[in-house]
Amino acid sequence: MIVLAFRHPLRTALTISASLAQIGEFSFILAGLGFSLGLLPQEGRDLILAVAILSILLNPLFFAALDRLAPWLEQHGMMSPAEISAEPAHTDLLTTNLQGHMVLVGFGRVGSRVGEELEREHLSFLVIEDRTELVERIRGRGIEAIQGNAAAPEVLAAANLAEARALLIAIPDGYEAGQIVEQGRATNPGIEIIARAHSDEEVAHLQRYGADLVIMGENEIAHRMVERALGRKAAASQPDREPVPD
Protein backbone atom coordinates (compact mmCIF):
# COMPACT_ATOMS: atom_id res chain seq x y z
CA MET A 1 0.00 0.00 0.00
CA ILE A 2 2.91 2.35 0.74
CA VAL A 3 4.39 1.77 -2.71
CA LEU A 4 0.98 2.27 -4.30
CA ALA A 5 0.56 5.55 -2.45
CA PHE A 6 3.83 6.86 -3.84
CA ARG A 7 2.99 5.78 -7.39
CA HIS A 8 -0.63 6.96 -7.38
CA PRO A 9 -1.07 9.53 -4.58
CA LEU A 10 -4.31 11.00 -5.88
CA ARG A 11 -5.85 7.71 -6.89
CA THR A 12 -4.85 6.15 -3.56
CA ALA A 13 -6.45 9.02 -1.65
CA LEU A 14 -9.69 8.57 -3.57
CA THR A 15 -9.66 4.82 -2.97
CA ILE A 16 -9.11 5.27 0.77
CA SER A 17 -11.91 7.84 0.90
CA ALA A 18 -14.30 5.43 -0.80
CA SER A 19 -13.18 2.60 1.47
CA LEU A 20 -13.91 4.65 4.59
CA ALA A 21 -17.53 4.94 3.47
CA GLN A 22 -18.04 1.27 4.26
CA ILE A 23 -18.12 1.24 8.05
CA GLY A 24 -21.57 -0.24 8.43
CA GLU A 25 -20.66 -3.49 10.21
CA PHE A 26 -18.64 -1.67 12.87
CA SER A 27 -21.45 0.83 13.33
CA PHE A 28 -23.88 -2.02 14.07
CA ILE A 29 -21.60 -3.26 16.83
CA LEU A 30 -21.09 0.17 18.41
CA ALA A 31 -24.77 1.07 18.22
CA GLY A 32 -25.83 -2.22 19.79
CA LEU A 33 -23.25 -1.92 22.56
CA GLY A 34 -24.21 1.68 23.31
CA PHE A 35 -27.90 0.81 23.46
CA SER A 36 -27.34 -2.23 25.71
CA LEU A 37 -25.28 -0.12 28.15
CA GLY A 38 -27.89 2.59 28.26
CA LEU A 39 -25.57 5.14 26.69
CA LEU A 40 -27.55 5.52 23.49
CA PRO A 41 -31.31 6.07 23.14
CA GLN A 42 -33.29 3.90 20.76
CA GLU A 43 -33.79 6.82 18.36
CA GLY A 44 -30.04 7.33 18.14
CA ARG A 45 -29.44 3.63 17.53
CA ASP A 46 -32.05 3.56 14.76
CA LEU A 47 -30.52 6.63 13.12
CA ILE A 48 -27.03 5.09 13.16
CA LEU A 49 -28.30 1.83 11.72
CA ALA A 50 -30.18 3.67 8.95
CA VAL A 51 -27.09 5.66 7.96
CA ALA A 52 -24.92 2.51 8.12
CA ILE A 53 -27.27 0.61 5.82
CA LEU A 54 -27.30 3.55 3.43
CA SER A 55 -23.48 3.66 3.36
CA ILE A 56 -23.32 -0.06 2.60
CA LEU A 57 -25.74 0.35 -0.29
CA LEU A 58 -23.91 3.34 -1.74
CA ASN A 59 -20.36 2.00 -1.31
CA PRO A 60 -20.28 0.03 -4.63
CA LEU A 61 -21.32 3.22 -6.42
CA PHE A 62 -18.36 5.05 -4.86
CA PHE A 63 -15.90 2.52 -6.29
CA ALA A 64 -17.64 2.51 -9.68
CA ALA A 65 -17.41 6.30 -9.76
CA LEU A 66 -13.72 6.09 -8.81
CA ASP A 67 -12.96 3.79 -11.74
CA ARG A 68 -14.63 6.20 -14.13
CA LEU A 69 -13.15 9.30 -12.50
CA ALA A 70 -9.48 8.23 -12.61
CA PRO A 71 -9.11 8.47 -16.43
CA TRP A 72 -10.78 11.89 -16.39
CA LEU A 73 -8.41 13.14 -13.69
CA GLU A 74 -5.41 11.84 -15.60
CA GLN A 75 -6.66 13.33 -18.86
CA HIS A 76 -7.10 16.74 -17.24
CA GLY A 77 -3.66 16.75 -15.69
CA MET A 78 -4.62 15.95 -12.11
CA MET A 79 -2.75 12.64 -12.26
CA SER A 80 0.53 13.37 -13.96
CA PRO A 81 3.16 10.93 -15.23
CA ALA A 82 5.37 12.11 -12.39
CA GLU A 83 2.81 10.89 -9.87
CA ILE A 84 2.66 7.45 -11.42
CA SER A 85 6.41 7.03 -11.76
CA ALA A 86 7.39 8.83 -8.54
CA GLU A 87 10.01 6.35 -7.37
CA PRO A 88 13.69 6.71 -6.49
CA ALA A 89 15.72 7.12 -9.68
CA HIS A 90 17.53 4.03 -10.92
CA THR A 91 21.05 5.34 -11.39
CA ASP A 92 22.79 1.96 -11.69
CA LEU A 93 20.87 0.59 -14.66
CA LEU A 94 22.89 -0.64 -17.61
CA THR A 95 21.42 -0.37 -21.09
CA THR A 96 20.88 -3.73 -22.73
CA ASN A 97 22.88 -4.71 -25.78
CA LEU A 98 19.82 -6.31 -27.40
CA GLN A 99 18.56 -4.94 -30.71
CA GLY A 100 15.47 -5.88 -32.66
CA HIS A 101 14.15 -7.48 -29.47
CA MET A 102 10.86 -7.49 -27.60
CA VAL A 103 10.35 -5.77 -24.26
CA LEU A 104 7.94 -7.56 -21.94
CA VAL A 105 6.63 -5.47 -19.05
CA GLY A 106 5.43 -7.56 -16.12
CA PHE A 107 6.00 -11.23 -15.41
CA GLY A 108 2.92 -12.17 -13.41
CA ARG A 109 0.18 -14.58 -14.47
CA VAL A 110 -0.11 -13.13 -17.97
CA GLY A 111 3.46 -11.98 -18.49
CA SER A 112 4.97 -15.31 -17.50
CA ARG A 113 2.83 -17.10 -20.09
CA VAL A 114 3.86 -14.58 -22.73
CA GLY A 115 7.48 -15.16 -21.77
CA GLU A 116 7.09 -18.92 -22.12
CA GLU A 117 5.71 -18.49 -25.63
CA LEU A 118 8.55 -16.16 -26.60
CA GLU A 119 11.07 -18.67 -25.22
CA ARG A 120 9.41 -21.49 -27.11
CA GLU A 121 9.71 -19.52 -30.35
CA HIS A 122 13.37 -18.66 -29.54
CA LEU A 123 12.66 -14.93 -29.83
CA SER A 124 14.96 -12.28 -28.40
CA PHE A 125 13.34 -10.46 -25.48
CA LEU A 126 13.92 -8.99 -22.05
CA VAL A 127 11.61 -8.48 -19.08
CA ILE A 128 10.94 -5.41 -16.96
CA GLU A 129 9.67 -6.42 -13.51
CA ASP A 130 9.72 -4.58 -10.18
CA ARG A 131 9.47 -7.58 -7.84
CA THR A 132 12.87 -8.76 -6.66
CA GLU A 133 11.96 -12.43 -6.28
CA LEU A 134 10.56 -12.59 -9.81
CA VAL A 135 13.58 -10.82 -11.29
CA GLU A 136 15.90 -13.34 -9.66
CA ARG A 137 13.78 -16.21 -10.96
CA ILE A 138 13.75 -14.76 -14.48
CA ARG A 139 17.51 -14.29 -14.53
CA GLY A 140 17.93 -17.81 -13.19
CA ARG A 141 16.24 -19.04 -16.37
CA GLY A 142 18.78 -17.20 -18.48
CA ILE A 143 16.42 -14.39 -19.46
CA GLU A 144 17.64 -10.81 -19.31
CA ALA A 145 15.63 -8.79 -16.78
CA ILE A 146 15.58 -5.19 -15.62
CA GLN A 147 14.27 -4.51 -12.14
CA GLY A 148 12.18 -1.38 -11.80
CA ASN A 149 8.93 0.35 -12.68
CA ALA A 150 8.57 0.51 -16.45
CA ALA A 151 6.79 3.87 -16.13
CA ALA A 152 10.13 5.38 -15.08
CA PRO A 153 11.89 6.85 -18.16
CA GLU A 154 15.31 5.54 -17.10
CA VAL A 155 13.99 1.98 -16.91
CA LEU A 156 12.59 2.10 -20.43
CA ALA A 157 15.84 3.67 -21.61
CA ALA A 158 17.78 0.73 -20.14
CA ALA A 159 15.58 -1.62 -22.19
CA ASN A 160 16.84 0.08 -25.39
CA LEU A 161 13.28 0.67 -26.51
CA ALA A 162 14.49 2.84 -29.37
CA GLU A 163 15.86 -0.27 -31.13
CA ALA A 164 13.23 -2.77 -29.97
CA ARG A 165 10.69 -4.33 -32.34
CA ALA A 166 7.78 -4.67 -29.90
CA LEU A 167 6.61 -3.55 -26.47
CA LEU A 168 4.36 -6.06 -24.69
CA ILE A 169 2.67 -4.64 -21.60
CA ALA A 170 1.29 -7.42 -19.40
CA ILE A 171 0.73 -5.52 -16.14
CA PRO A 172 -2.89 -5.36 -14.88
CA ASP A 173 -2.93 -1.61 -14.11
CA GLY A 174 -4.31 0.02 -17.23
CA TYR A 175 -3.56 3.56 -16.08
CA GLU A 176 0.10 2.88 -15.34
CA ALA A 177 0.26 1.00 -18.63
CA GLY A 178 -0.96 4.17 -20.33
CA GLN A 179 2.14 6.02 -19.15
CA ILE A 180 4.34 3.22 -20.49
CA VAL A 181 2.54 3.27 -23.83
CA GLU A 182 2.90 7.03 -24.10
CA GLN A 183 6.63 6.96 -23.37
CA GLY A 184 7.18 3.94 -25.61
CA ARG A 185 5.46 5.62 -28.55
CA ALA A 186 7.46 8.81 -28.02
CA THR A 187 10.75 6.90 -27.81
CA ASN A 188 10.11 4.69 -30.83
CA PRO A 189 7.24 5.83 -33.10
CA GLY A 190 7.49 2.66 -35.18
CA ILE A 191 7.44 0.10 -32.39
CA GLU A 192 4.48 -2.27 -32.11
CA ILE A 193 2.78 -1.85 -28.74
CA ILE A 194 0.46 -4.54 -27.38
CA ALA A 195 -1.21 -4.18 -23.98
CA ARG A 196 -3.87 -5.83 -21.83
CA ALA A 197 -6.98 -4.27 -20.32
CA HIS A 198 -9.89 -5.17 -18.05
CA SER A 199 -12.55 -2.73 -19.27
CA ASP A 200 -13.68 -0.78 -22.31
CA GLU A 201 -12.48 2.39 -20.59
CA GLU A 202 -8.97 1.00 -20.25
CA VAL A 203 -8.99 -0.12 -23.88
CA ALA A 204 -9.88 3.41 -25.01
CA HIS A 205 -7.33 4.88 -22.61
CA LEU A 206 -4.46 2.75 -23.96
CA GLN A 207 -5.44 3.27 -27.58
CA ARG A 208 -5.56 7.00 -27.02
CA TYR A 209 -1.94 6.93 -25.84
CA GLY A 210 -0.80 4.95 -28.87
CA ALA A 211 -1.23 1.20 -28.31
CA ASP A 212 -1.54 -0.76 -31.57
CA LEU A 213 -3.50 -3.61 -30.00
CA VAL A 214 -5.27 -3.81 -26.64
CA ILE A 215 -6.52 -7.23 -25.56
CA MET A 216 -9.34 -7.51 -23.03
CA GLY A 217 -9.67 -10.95 -21.47
CA GLU A 218 -13.46 -10.96 -21.43
CA ASN A 219 -13.58 -10.30 -25.17
CA GLU A 220 -11.14 -13.12 -25.92
CA ILE A 221 -13.16 -15.56 -23.82
CA ALA A 222 -16.36 -14.55 -25.61
CA HIS A 223 -14.72 -14.96 -29.03
CA ARG A 224 -13.41 -18.42 -28.19
CA MET A 225 -16.80 -19.54 -26.89
CA VAL A 226 -18.57 -18.30 -30.02
CA GLU A 227 -15.93 -19.88 -32.26
CA ARG A 228 -16.39 -23.19 -30.51
CA ALA A 229 -20.18 -22.96 -30.65
CA LEU A 230 -20.21 -22.05 -34.35
CA GLY A 231 -17.69 -24.77 -35.12
CA ARG A 232 -19.87 -27.43 -33.53
CA LYS A 233 -22.93 -26.12 -35.39
CA ALA A 234 -21.11 -26.15 -38.74
CA ALA A 235 -19.86 -29.70 -38.15
CA ALA A 236 -23.36 -30.88 -37.26
CA SER A 237 -24.75 -29.52 -40.53
CA GLN A 238 -22.38 -31.73 -42.58
CA PRO A 239 -23.27 -35.39 -41.84
CA ASP A 240 -20.47 -36.76 -44.05
CA ARG A 241 -17.81 -35.37 -41.66
CA GLU A 242 -16.59 -37.13 -38.56
CA PRO A 243 -17.75 -35.53 -35.30
CA VAL A 244 -15.21 -33.31 -33.58
CA PRO A 245 -14.01 -35.03 -30.38
CA ASP A 246 -14.30 -33.16 -27.07
Residue 30 has pLDDT above 50, yes or no: yes
Domain covering 102-221: architecture: 3-Layer(aba) Sandwich (3.40)
Across all residues in the chain, what is the average pLDDT? Answer: 78
- Identity of the amino acid at 53: I
The reported pLDDT for the residue numbered 230 is 86
Q: pLDDT tier at 51 (50, 70, 90 boundaries)?
A: confident
Q: Give per-residue burial for 191-223: e unless 16+ CB within 10 Å, then b.
A: bebbbbbeeebbbebbbebbbeebebeeeeeee
Query: Which pLDDT band holds residue 228 (cuts at 50, 70, 90)?
Result: confident
Task: Report the largest interatomic distance among the alpha carbons of the chain, rounded to a whole angstrom.
Answer: 83
Distance CA 194, CA 213 (A): 5
Question: How large is the angle between the packed helices 24-36 and 42-75, nearest 10 degrees?
Answer: 160
CA distances from 148 to 18, 100, 206, 214, 241 (A): 29, 22, 21, 23, 54
Q: Which residue has the higher pLDDT, 128 or 46?
A: 128
Average pLDDT over residues 213-236: 79
pTM: 0.59
Looking at 17-21, 50-54, 96-100, which range is the least confident one? Answer: 17-21
Residue type for 19, please? S
pLDDT tens per residue, range 194-224 = 999 988 899 999 999 999 999 998 888 888 8
Average of pLDDT values for 73-88? 49
Q: Is 190 exposed, middle or buried (0-12, 13-18, 19+ CB in 10 A)?
A: exposed
> What pairs with residue 105 in β-bridges?
128, 169
Per-residue pLDDT tens for 140-181? Answer: 999 999 999 999 999 999 999 999 999 999 999 888 999 999
pLDDT band per the 50, 70, 90 thresholds, residue 134:
very high
Q: What is the pLDDT of residues 52-72, one digit of tens each?
A: 777 767 666 666 666 666 665
